């Protein structure tokens, strides 16, 4: 059973109504590492729906979190906003300076991310956490946390192994300068928390308004109750022993709630560079990724991996292999389940689950996402055809499409061209057709290879100019010159591109003019 389907079955033991959640702090540009949490929660939500349960997926934006430092993309003028909630500070302008207050810092970074989520079929109910504070939704839990302060303090210290300061309080008021930093609580009388800030200013915060927030470990536990969350995957930093998940569960119970079961996911790593991190610059943004990769393939990368296994995201050669795997599974004929053993049945069900959860729209036919053209074939055409119309004409001529291309295929070609023209396309996959065979290629293929190409040019002059006809001509030339088939293909690739490998030979030759191919291969 696929991990999302298995989790849905476990959740059913809690009841018929499920709420899957994920959250994010909009402190800067997002990267696709964030998609692991979001898609994990969304896929579990889909599996709950597919299992007949009522389910919703909410996306909680930690807009009440403070700006923790002046990031590299910000000007030094943001120094005055350190410690201030992200919802209450201005967005940066094009120079990284505090800009117009028409849009908040949180919204500035959040909105493009939500657009990218929509492209991959994620349409959550968005919850801005600062609004929950402003509306008084957390007031009950703030009061309970304060009344149970010592029990919560002991819980955090015992489980996390860290000592809390004597000034620690389960609520952080906003001081006179708008910052949460350096504010000491001096008293509490519901609904007011009294405080003194670093400027020596005394004040009070109303817990029914957005005048402060609970620390993360308590805030997380309280939102589980507030939103009725039954499932929230968390990264291994939060899920580690003594982490915020381990403290959140008992704190949630202290506050009168029923916490979700602990679900921990591994991180996405950028191949050869380690875990993605906005602060370290090791990152690919979701919009950038979606400009390269079809959304179904991006979802498949998450869906096919067990939730507790790390993922290496590679926009190079491995992307071809991933696409090949996806297309093979999508196009595979319906298997005969009766002929399978238990292990094969488990693998089949897992694969079917991964493909089902990879679709942008739940319940659609996966074959529609391929559009009748493989990822590799489209890559070849995008490189050797200068215009989109030439690509469509070629696909029509080869029988890949019967009519005009659909919107899915047009978008796929646009993404393919962006990948090819960008920095992530692997050099070894680039196709540069030669006008003549170089001396290096002649030397590499040897005398037998040169003889094979001369014979092949003769057979190609008379064959039907189709992939099947070209393939048959290659077989005849191999037999006629008694060359090993793999050496014959290597000779063709060397002549065409100067390399010993490349895209499907018959498909590549079919896209070229017959006279050009014959002239190139005729080595006499």
DSSP state, 90? Answer: B
> In the predicted model, what is the mean pLDDT of residues 461-466?
93
End-to-end CA distance of the chain: 61
Q: What is the DSSP string of 226-265?
A: HTT--B--EEHHHHSTTSHHHHHHHHHHHTT--PPPP-EE
Which tops the pLDDT comparison, 457 or 372? Answer: 457
Which tops the pLDDT comparison, 91 or 116? Answer: 91
Confidence of residue 291 (pLDDT cuts 50, 70, 90): confident
Confidence of residue 284 (pLDDT cuts 50, 70, 90): low
DSSP state, 92? Answer: B
pLDDT digits (tens, 9 = 90+) for 72-82: 999 999 999 99
Which tops the pLDDT comparison, 411 or 187? Answer: 187
| SS3 state of residue 300 | helix
pLDDT digits (tens, 9 = 90+) for 393-433: 999 988 888 878 888 899 889 989 988 988 888 888 899 99
pLDDT digits (tens, 9 = 90+) for 11-41: 999 999 999 999 999 998 877 778 889 999 9
pLDDT at position 279, please? 44
Tell me the whole-structure pTM to 2 decimals.
0.88
Q: Where are the alpha helices (DSSP H) in 33-138?
A: 34-50, 105-119, 129-134
> In the predicted model, what is the mean pLDDT of residues 224-232?
98
Closest of 63, 57, 54, 61 to residue 21, by C-alpha: 57
Q: How far is the C-alpha of 40 from the C-alpha of 22, rounded, in Å? A: 9
| SS3 state of residue 202 | strand
Give a three-class secondary structure readout of 13-52. HHCCEEEEEEEECCCCCCCCCHHHHHHHHHHHHHHHHHCC
pLDDT at position 100, please? 77
pLDDT at position 280, please? 45
pLDDT at position 403, please? 79
> In the predicted model, what is the mean pLDDT of residues 277-299?
69
pLDDT at position 342, please? 87
User: Taking all residues of the chain, what is their mean pLDDT, rounded to a whole number?
Assistant: 91
pLDDT at position 278, please? 47
Angle (CA) 357 265 162, round 5°: 155
- pLDDT surpasses 60 at 277: no
pLDDT digits (tens, 9 = 90+) for 382-395: 999 989 999 999 99
pLDDT at position 169, please? 98
Task: Give the pairing of strands 311-313 and 268-270.
Answer: parallel
Q: How far is the C-alpha of 260 from the C-alpha of 233, rounded, in Å? A: 9
pLDDT at position 312, please? 83
The beta strand positions in 178-309, using DSSP E, are 184-189, 192-196, 202-206, 212-213, 234-235, 264-265, 268-270, 274-275
pLDDT at position 287, please? 64
Q: Is the peptide bond before 191 cis (omega within 30 degrees of 0)?
A: yes
pLDDT digits (tens, 9 = 90+) for 125-177: 999 999 999 999 999 999 999 999 999 999 999 999 999 999 999 999 999 99
> In the predicted model, what is the mean pLDDT of residues 509-516?
93
Lowest mean pLDDT across 85-94, 285-294, 482-491: 285-294
Residue 98 Cα to chain centre, angstroms: 30
* Residues 32 and 276 sit within 8 Å (Cβ to Cβ): yes
User: What backbone phi and psi angles, to 5 degrees, belong to 384?
Assistant: -100, -10
């Amino acid at each position: 059973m696929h991990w999302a389907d298995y989790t849905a079955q476990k959740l059913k033991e809690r009841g018929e109504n499920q709420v899957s959640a994920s959250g994010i702090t909009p402190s800067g540009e997002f990267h696709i590492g964030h998609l692991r949490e979001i898609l994990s929660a969304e896929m579990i939500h889909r599996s709950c729906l597919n299992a007949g349960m009522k389910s919703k997926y909410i996306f909680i934006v930690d807009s009440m979190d403070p700006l923790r430092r002046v990031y590299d993309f910000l000007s030094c003028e943001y120094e005055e906003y350190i410690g201030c909630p992200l919802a209450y500070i201005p967005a940066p302008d094009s120079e990284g300076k505090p800009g117009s207050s028409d849009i908040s810092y949180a919204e500035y970074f959040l909105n493009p991310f939500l657009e990218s989520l929509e492209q991959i079929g994620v349409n959550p109910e968005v919850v801005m956490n600062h609004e929950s504070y402003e509306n008084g939704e957390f007031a009950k839990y703030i009061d309970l946390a304060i009344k149970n302060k010592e029990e919560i303090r002991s819980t955090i210290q015992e489980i996390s192994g860290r000592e809390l300061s004597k000034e620690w309080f389960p609520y952080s008021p906003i001081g006179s300068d708008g910052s949460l930093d350096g504010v000491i609580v001096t008293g509490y009388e519901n609904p007011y928390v009294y405080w003194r800030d670093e400027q020596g200013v005394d004040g009070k915060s109303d817990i029914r308004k957005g005048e402060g927030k609970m620390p993360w470990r308590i805030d997380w536990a309280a939102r589980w109750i507030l939103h009725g969350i039954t499932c929230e995957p968390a990264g291994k930093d939060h899920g580690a022993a003594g982490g915020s998940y381990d403290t959140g569960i008992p704190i949630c119970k202290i506050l009168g709630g029923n916490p979700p079961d602990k679900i921990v996911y591994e991180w996405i790593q950028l191949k050869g560079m380690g875990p993605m991190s906005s602060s370290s610059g090791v990152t690919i943004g979701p919009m950038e990724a979606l400009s390269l990769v079809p959304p179904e393939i991006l979802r498949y990368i998450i869906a096919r991996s067990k939730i507790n296994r790390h993922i290496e995201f590679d926009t190079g050669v491995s992307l071809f292999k991933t696409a090949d795997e996806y297309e093979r599974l999508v196009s595979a004929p319906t298997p005969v389940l009766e002929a399978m053993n238990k292990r094969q049945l488990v693998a089949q069900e897992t694969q079917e689950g991964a493909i089902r959860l990879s679709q942008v729209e739940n319940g659609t036919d996966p074959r529609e996402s391929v559009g009748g053209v493989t990822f590799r074939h489209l890559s070849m055409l995008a490189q050797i055809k200068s215009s989109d119309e030439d690509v469509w004409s070629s696909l029509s001529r080869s029988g890949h499409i019967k009519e005009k291309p659909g919107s899915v295929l047009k978008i796929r070609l646009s993404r393919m061209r962006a990948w090819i023209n960008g920095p992530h396309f692997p050099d070894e996959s680039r196709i540069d057709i030669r006008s003549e065979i170089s001396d290096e290629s002649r030397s590499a293929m040897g005398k037998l290879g040169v003889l094979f190409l001369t014979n092949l040019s003769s057979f190609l002059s008379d064959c039907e100019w189709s992939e099947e006809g070209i393939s048959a001509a290659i077989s005849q030339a191999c037999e006629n010159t008694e060359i090993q088939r793999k050496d014959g293909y290597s000779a063709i690739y060397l002549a065409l591109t100067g390399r010993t490998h490349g895209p499907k030979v018959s498909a590549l030759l079919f896209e070229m003019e017959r006279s050009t191919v014959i002239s190139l291969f005729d080595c006499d």
